[in-house]
Structure 1
Amino acid sequence: MKESSSKAMPKRSFSRDMILDNFSVPRRDARDYYLALFGKLAIVTATFAIQGYQLYILTDYQKVSEDSVGDQLVLISVILMVTALAMALVAGPISDRIGRRKAPVMFVGLLVAIGAPVPFLSTEPRTMLVYALIAGLGSGIFNSVDQALNVEVLPNAETAAKDLGVLNLANTGGQVLGPAIAAMAISAAGYHMIFPAVAIVALLGVMMIALIRSVR
């Protein structure tokens, strides 16, 4: 390791504030931090609400036969993977060049909100391929830019690792909340309600990211 030793770093005295700073969520100057946290949570939730129910959307909503559903799922996965990898290669450098983090992350939320209604408008299986194309583009941008946005909204450099860990909980939290929201939408009004629900959640995420002030 080329980093210098940490032995000479000043040590904080053991106190209530030291415990709270290191073992709790940020408490001061953290407005943009929480906007980034809940904006990320909303966008990830919207994404996984559909991805978690792909099989059932195809079989129960779009009536794809059991013989064909496997091939359809493979095709959707390939589209998601290829588009995500392609955008991940270009989105980060573009974000660095233009010096903006918010706009690319907001664009991801808009892509999810635009892509979600496509299967709502038609039960044709090809609409899920269109959604996969749009969602894959958004996923590639999100994976390459969102973490940079997260780093720039950290309120305290001394607790950066812990605060980033809290932000990353939005990824796993969204994977749990997404299918739960989809299940509630299905129970309330059927499979077709997943898609407008996803669009609304994604737009809420866009709005929260837009309210961040400290990052362009």
Structure 2
Amino acid sequence: MTQSNLAPRDEVRGAAPGTVPAQLGPLDSAGKPRYSLSPLLGTLPLANLALYLVWMGVGSFLIPMQVTAIKGHPDPDALKNAVAVGAALAAIGNPIFGQISDRTRSRFGRRVPWIVICSLLGAGALMWQANAKSIGTLAITWGCVQFILNGFQAALTAVMPDRVPPAKYGIFSGLVGLGIPLGIVVSAYTIGGIDLHKLGIDKVVGGFDGKFQGENGYYLIAGILVACVLVFCLVTPDKPSVDMPVERFDFGKFLSNFWLNPRKHPDFAWAFLSRFGVVAGYFVVLTYNMYILMEYVKIKPQDTPAIMGFLMVINAIATVIASIVVGRLVDRFGVIKPFVLGSGILAGLSLFIPMIWASVNGMTAFNVVNGFAFGMYMAVDMALITKVLPRGEDAGKDMGLINIANAAPQIAAPFIASSIVETWGYHALFPIAAVISLVGSVLVVFVKTVR
């Protein structure tokens, strides 16, 4: 972003200097919330559940299964090629749709139109992907899904800075973070099933005899996505944005807005790099989670989905517990950075468990500790990011930029993981991922305006 485009946080393009249009921000001129927060406590996690059901259900279960079916065996290199294109398009889609939603003026608000449009198009792309019969087609269709649904994600992540007062950032950050574990639980139950043998119960719950381990899984996720979005938009609609001022569109400025000068906004830059590191460490392992169980832990392919479902649910439960507890602690004590740093250290330590304990028990212990660490991070991630946004009226674009720190590691992770596996084997994934996560969490120390 160039100097000519910069304005203080409390100024808006088209408004008199020092004034804030009534339509902008979560508080009115009297300092009271403009939006009812109670319904949002339910609908925001629901909408994030729909999004992460796609990322986790498709990314962790359906794509590895589809790659294995197409190639006839687990193929890390083919999996890398199938997911990398999608991650690249995700990195592009998030800031593009974020900036477009910032400029949207309608009686339905700035975000809701794009949440609805992208969810419908994304559902259609998922149904297209369900019928992919080659790695090339799978890469293209997953790329379309990622690009479109990152438009959904860019608009959805801007809801928090749009509607939530700063005093409630901790609890809402924790609720947003619930989308990941809830997405994990639903996808594990419906697609893989959950093996309860480790709990002393000789039973696999869910799974539905593999009914959703293919095309039906895509159709189910597409339907849930649309249903959750409709609930979100009907129960917690946005406020009209037709009276909000907006600059005349200038393509040069539109492109320049994708650059945020780190010298002028160092805290935003450090928060970006910190998220990049933490997410990269996470995805280096997550990308090959199913193959780790088959090739490293030596679980039979037919048993892998249910065992993976159990492990993912264990991870999700630990994430939920940490997210709720830490979210409340953030609001109570007003500190964020210690939890980011602590989560990175704990995540790094957890990654050494499967390296020295290559068994289902070891993976169970890993998922408990790693899930708790990730829950700590998700409880404060959105609060940290929201506090370092340069300008409120650009929340969609800026959240889109920061979300590149989610997408870009997914581009790099398959190539990093594939190279590690080919050179040193699966056991080397864990210490390398630990170092990456730890470095990412340490970078938050350089954020100066957040405690």
| Equivalence for 2:396 | 161
Q: Hey, what's the Cα distance between the residues in 2 that align with 1:195 and 1:163?
A: 32
Whether the aligned pair in 2 keeps the contact of 1:41 and 1:170 (CA below 8 Å) is yes
Secondary structure of the equivalent of 1:130? helix
Q: How is 1:1-216 mapped onto 2 (pairs within 5 angstroms)?
A: 7=243, 9=245, 19=254, 23-27=257-261, 29-216=264-451
Q: Hey, what's the Cα distance between the residues in 1 that align with 2:423 and 2:316?
A: 32
Secondary structure of the equivalent of 2:390? coil
Q: Report how far residue 144 of structure 1 moved.
A: 2.3
Q: Report how far residue 20 of structure 1 moved.
A: 6.0
More helix by share: 1
* 1:157–1:125 distance in 2 versus 1, CA, 3 Å: same
* 1:5–1:119 distance in 2 versus 1, CA, 3 Å: closer
The range that moved more, 51-60 or 32-41, is 51-60
Q: Report how far residue 88 of structure 1 moved.
A: 2.0
Q: Hey, what's the Cα distance between the residues in 1 that align with 2:296 and 2:276?
A: 26
Counting matched residue pairs gives 214
Secondary structure of the equivalent of 1:183? helix
**Paired AA for residue 317 in structure 2:** V
Whether the aligned pair in 2 keeps the contact of 1:186 and 1:194 (CA below 8 Å) is yes
Q: Hey, what's the Cα distance between the residues in 1 that align with 2:249 and 2:359?
A: 63
Q: Report how far residue 85 of structure 1 moved.
A: 1.8
Q: Report how far residue 6 of structure 1 moved.
A: 6.0
**Paired AA for residue 113 in structure 1:** G
**Paired AA for residue 24 in structure 1:** F
Q: Report how far residue 97 of structure 1 moved.
A: 0.8
TM, length-normalised to structure 2:
0.44
**Paired AA for residue 375 in structure 2:** G
Whether the aligned pair in 1 keeps the contact of 2:351 and 2:366 (CA below 8 Å) is yes
**Paired AA for residue 164 in structure 1:** M
The CA RMSD over aligned residues, in Å, is 2.4
Q: Hey, what's the Cα distance between the residues in 2 that align with 1:130 and 1:149?
A: 29
Q: Hey, what's the Cα distance between the residues in 2 that align with 1:125 and 1:198?
A: 20
CA offset digits 1:110-159 (Å, max 9, x no partner):
12101101111122221111111112112222222101100111223342
Q: Hey, what's the Cα distance between the residues in 1 that align with 2:443 and 2:356?
A: 27
Q: Report how far residue 180 of structure 1 moved.
A: 2.6
* 1:8–1:45 distance in 2 versus 1, CA, 3 Å: closer
**Paired AA for residue 7 in structure 1:** D
Q: Report how far residue 39 of structure 1 moved.
A: 0.9
Whether the aligned pair in 2 keeps the contact of 1:50 and 1:179 (CA below 8 Å) is no
The range that moved more, 152-161 or 127-136, is 152-161
Unaligned runs of at least 5 residues, structure 1: none
* 1:58–1:3 distance in 2 versus 1, CA, 3 Å: closer
TM, length-normalised to structure 1:
0.87
Whether the aligned pair in 2 keeps the contact of 1:120 and 1:195 (CA below 8 Å) is yes
Secondary structure of the equivalent of 1:66? coil
Unaligned runs of at least 5 residues, structure 2: 1-236
* 1:156–1:174 distance in 2 versus 1, CA, 3 Å: same
Q: Report how far residue 103 of structure 1 moved.
A: 1.4
The range that moved more, 60-69 or 91-100, is 60-69
Secondary structure of the equivalent of 2:403? helix
Q: Hey, what's the Cα distance between the residues in 1 that align with 2:238 and 2:286?
A: 42
